[in-house]
Amino acid sequence: MKVLVNAVSARTGGALSYLRNFLPALARLGLVDEFVVFAPSRFANESRGLAPNIRIETSPCAEGGALSRFAFDQWMLRRFATRARVDRIFSTANFGILHPPAPQAVFVRNPTYFSPEYSRRVREVEGRIAAWKVAARRRLVAASCASSVAVLTPTAAMRASLVESGAADPAKCVVVNHGFDRDAFLSMDPAPDEAIRDSLARRWDEKILFYPSLFGRHKNFDALFEGLAALAKRGRNVRLLSTCRIDPAGGRFERRAWRLFKNLALERNVTFLGPLPYRSMPRVYAACDIVVWPSFAESFGQPLLEAMACRRPIVSAGIAASREVARDAALYFEPFDAEGFADAIDKALDPAVSARLVEAGSKRVGDFSWRRHVERVVEILRSLPEGDHG
């Protein structure tokens, strides 16, 4: 079987993390099948030579904006698939080839296109044009699903969002949980550089919260900042570590979050670490008391598994995907309830509650495996009917 893997959209965040885990796990299977992977150039440079049967390709046309990537997907990638006579196509990040030349499976992992709350907030903060762009991407995902024989989602919650919105035929949808390798993750753990080490140092009796996320419209920093302010009013000495940076001159959501951060006078309560090398993450988890996950739209939440692996309690927004992944390893709050967030932090700081959450997480994280994930994806690709192009 010759498989074309379309991963050109995997530039940052969860899409890039997925690719960085998926391909090494695929290489370790030792399959005779051939995989041609179109990926961003920054990823390709670090991933060539994984295995003889995995070839990494790049294209300057795929490195541009949304229109450039759409053109690449629909014309250049289609032409490559036809000329290379691929047997299957696997699109890893939401968008596939419309009317593809070979049976296609698409992995839909972006929940924001199907979140009414997300669309409402985009319209409210950024206006109709931004909301129209979200709607256009939602329609393109739906068209990609219609052109695919199989539609993969990482959780049942993401599958439900697709089906309820009418974007995908439920008969096509298959839940394939992301994987996780606890031992591989914990074995990275290098000594952090001096700047990170200083940020991780505990100040007196403070409690450290950690939010491992880039900035995004759906990441709910407003509720997070308001929750931190509520904790400060209660006399809690807490400090948040964040792997994002908020640009005061950035987009409207960033500017709004920055104004709230300044108005609440949270400079002593938040340390913006900025994006960190993945190999540094176990050390940061180990330095914190609680991992927080306030995002109101997620399809999975890989940091939840990372927190469990590092034996840290979790406080999460109570959305369906997070409940599905973390189960009893987290305390949950209503996504926009800052006082509810503060209440959950108070409870999680109780030693008995924390121990219960940690124990539940240690058991739950063992349910996930990148090897099993890749094996299931390959099994689905092999099962796609010949000549059925969606």
263 and 291 together in one domain: yes
Type of residue numbered 14: G
Question: If pLDDT is split at 50, 70 and 90, which confidence band does 301 have?
Answer: very high
- Residues of the chain with pLDDT > 90: what percent? 81
* Structural domain contains residue 316: yes
Asked whether the beta carbons of 315 and 227 are under 8 A apart, the reply is no
143 and 208 together in one domain: no
**Would you give the distance in Å from CA 199 to the centre of its chain?**
25
Determine the average pLDDT of the residues in 301-311.
Answer: 97
Question: If pLDDT is split at 50, 70 and 90, which confidence band does 125 have?
Answer: very high
220 and 300 together in one domain: yes
For position 277, which CATH number holds? 3.40.50.2000
* Structural domain contains residue 390: no
What is the number of domains present in the chain? 2
- pLDDT tens digits, 227-236: 999 999 999 9
Domain hosting 186: range is 182-366
373 and 256 together in one domain: no
Is a pLDDT exceeding 80 seen at residue 116? Answer: yes
196 and 148 together in one domain: no
CA-CA distance, 247 to 214, in Å (whole number)? Answer: 12
Is a pLDDT exceeding 60 seen at residue 388? Answer: no
CA-CA distance, 81 to 101, in Å (whole number)? Answer: 7
Question: If pLDDT is split at 50, 70 and 90, which confidence band does 180 have?
Answer: very high
Q: The whole model's pTM is what?
A: 0.93
Number of alpha helices (DSSP H) and beta strands (DSSP E) in the chain = 17, 13
CA-CA distance, 64 to 248, in Å (whole number)? Answer: 25
Supply φ then ψ for residue 12, to 5 degrees: -145, 175
40 and 123 together in one domain: yes
141 and 269 together in one domain: no
Residue 94 is inside which H or E element, if any? none
Secondary structure (H, E, C), 178-192:
CCCCHHHHHHHCCCC
Closest CA to 212 of 11, 13, 10: 13
* Structural domain contains residue 60: yes
Is a pLDDT exceeding 70 seen at residue 192? Answer: no
Is a pLDDT exceeding 80 seen at residue 28? Answer: yes
- Nearest 5°: the CA angle 29, 32, 34 is 100
37 and 165 together in one domain: yes
172 and 197 together in one domain: no
For residue 167, give both structure tokens: 């974007």
